[in-house]
Amino acid sequence: MNIQIFGRKKSKDTKKAERFFSDRRIQFHSVNLDEKEMSKGEFEKIKNAVGGAENMIDKDSQLFKKKFQYLEYNAEEELLEDQKLMKLPIVRAGGKATVGYEPDTWLEWMKDSD
C-alpha cells in the first residue's frame, strides 16, 4: 500500500495519522504543505476521491470563519489560492483519499489490500 499524507508539522491530526501508520509498520510519504503546496493534479485527484472541493475545507478553522463563514465562495478556487483552508490530514492511497483523521477508513483500506 502506497500512502501519502498531506499535512503540516503543527497539525495534531497530521501527527496522529503519521503515528497510526507508523504503529502498523506501514510506510508512508509525508508532504508538509507549509514547505510544498499540493499541485493542481494532486488536488484534482483528491477532490474527486473525496466527493468535491467543499469536503476538503476546514469549516472549523479560524481562517474559514473569518473569511467565508457568511459569504458565498467557490471552494475549489479558494483552496487552490490558500491551502491553509484545507482540513488536515489528507491521506491518499492510490485512487482513494480521506480528509481529516479517519482511522476506520484506513483500517478498511488495509483489509482490502490484503
Domain extent listing, the chain: 3-113
| 3-113 under CATH 3.40.30.10, yes or no | yes
Does the predicted TM-score (pTM) go above 0.85?
yes
Residues 6+ apart with CB under 8 A from 11: 88, 89
SS3 8: coil
pLDDT > 70? residue 30: yes
What confidence category does residue 114 fall into, taking pLDDT thresholds of 50, 70 and 90? low
pLDDT > 80? residue 1: no
pLDDT, tens digit, 9 for 90 and up, residues 71-110:
888 999 999 999 999 999 999 998 999 999 999 999 999 8
Q: Round the average pLDDT of the chain to a whole number and report it.
A: 94
